[in-house]
Structure 1
Amino acid sequence: MLRAMGGDEAVPGEHLWPGLRPEEPLSRISLGLLTLARPERLAAVAPWCLPMLDDAAGQDGPEWPGLLRAARAEAALLRGDLPAAAELAAAALDETSLPSWGVLVGAPLACLLTTAVRTGRYEDAAAYLTMPVPPALLETPFGLRYLQARGQYQLAVNRPYAALSDFQTCGQLLRDRGDDGPRALPWRIDAAQALLRLRRRAEARALLEEQLDGLPGDDGRTLGRALRHLAAALEPHERPALLTDAVEALQSAGDRVELAHTLADLGGAYHATGDARRARPALRRAWRTARECQAEGLSRSLLPGLSATSQAQGAGALLGGDRAAELSAAEHRVGSLAAQGHSNRQIAHRLCITVSTVEQHLTQVYRKLRVKSRTDLPVFLEDDDGPDSGLARDDPSLCR
Structure 2
Amino acid sequence: MTAAVSASAQWLTMLSPPLRDRLPTVGTGTTGATAGAPRDMADLAHAHAAATLSAVLAEGQADRAVIEAERVLQRYHLSDSTLQPLVVALMALVLATALDLALSWCERLQGECSSRRVPTWQALLSAVRAEIALRQGDLQVAAHQARTAMSRISVQGWGVGLGLLLSTLIQAETGMGHYDEAMALLEQPLPEELFQTLPGLFYLRARGRCHLATGRYHAALGDFMAAGELMGAWRMDTPC
Same fold (TM over 0.5): yes
User: Which of 60, 68, 80 is equivalent to 1:128?
Assistant: 68
1:190 Cα shift?
A: 0.7
For 1:262 and 1:139, the matched residues in 2 are separated by 28
Q: Are residue 79 (structure 1) and residue 20 (structure 2) matched?
A: no
Q: Are residue 70 (structure 1) and residue 41 (structure 2) matched?
A: no
For 1:127 and 1:83, the matched residues in 2 are separated by 25
1:115 Cα shift?
A: 1.9
1:154 Cα shift?
A: 2.3
Q: Where do residues 241-252 of structure 1 align in structure 2 (5 Å cutoff)?
A: 241-242=183-184, 244-245=186-187, 248-252=189-193
1:271 matched residue in structure 2: 212
* Cα distance, 1:90–1:183 mapped onto 2, change above 3 Å: same
* Cα distance, 1:262–1:65 mapped onto 2, change above 3 Å: same
1:130 Cα shift?
A: 7.4
1:138 Cα shift?
A: 1.0
The structure whose Rg is larger is 1
For 1:187 and 1:150, the matched residues in 2 are separated by 12
User: Which of 150, 157, 161 is equivalent to 2:89?
Assistant: 150
Q: Are residue 116 (structure 1) and residue 58 (structure 2) matched?
A: no
Q: Where do residues 21-170 of structure 1 align in structure 2 (5 Å cutoff)?
A: 64-81=1-18, 90-94=27-31, 96-99=32-35, 101-102=40-41, 104-119=43-58, 120-126=60-66, 128-129=68-69, 137-170=76-109
After superposition, the CA RMSD in angstroms is 3.4
The DSSP-based 3-state class of the residue aligned with 1:296 is coil
1:194 Cα shift?
A: 0.7
Q: Under a length normalisation based on structure 2, what TM-score does the superposition of the two structures give? A: 0.77
The DSSP-based 3-state class of the residue aligned with 1:76 is helix
For 1:209 and 1:108, the matched residues in 2 are separated by 30
Residues 160 and 194 of structure 1 are in contact (CA less than 8 Å); yes or no, is this contact kept in structure 2? Answer: yes
For 1:85 and 1:112, the matched residues in 2 are separated by 18
1:163 Cα shift?
A: 0.7
Q: Under a length normalisation based on structure 1, what TM-score does the superposition of the two structures give? A: 0.50
For 1:75 and 1:189, the matched residues in 2 are separated by 20
User: Which of 273, 289, 300 is equivalent to 2:230?
Assistant: 289
2:129 matched residue in structure 1: 191
* Cα distance, 1:111–1:89 mapped onto 2, change above 3 Å: farther
User: Which of 206, 224, 228 is equivalent to 2:167?
Assistant: 228
Relative CO higher for 1 or 2, CA cutoff 8 Å, sep ≥ 6?
2
The DSSP-based 3-state class of the residue aligned with 2:119 is coil
1:181 matched residue in structure 2: 119
Structure 2 unaligned segments of length 5 or more: list them. Answer: none
* Cα distance, 1:217–1:279 mapped onto 2, change above 3 Å: closer
For 1:89 and 1:245, the matched residues in 2 are separated by 40
For 1:131 and 1:88, the matched residues in 2 are separated by 25
The DSSP-based 3-state class of the residue aligned with 1:249 is coil
1:204 matched residue in structure 2: 142
Structure 1 unaligned segments of length 5 or more: list them. Answer: 1-63, 302-400
The number of equivalent residue pairs is 232
Aligned-partner residue type, residue 128 of structure 1? E
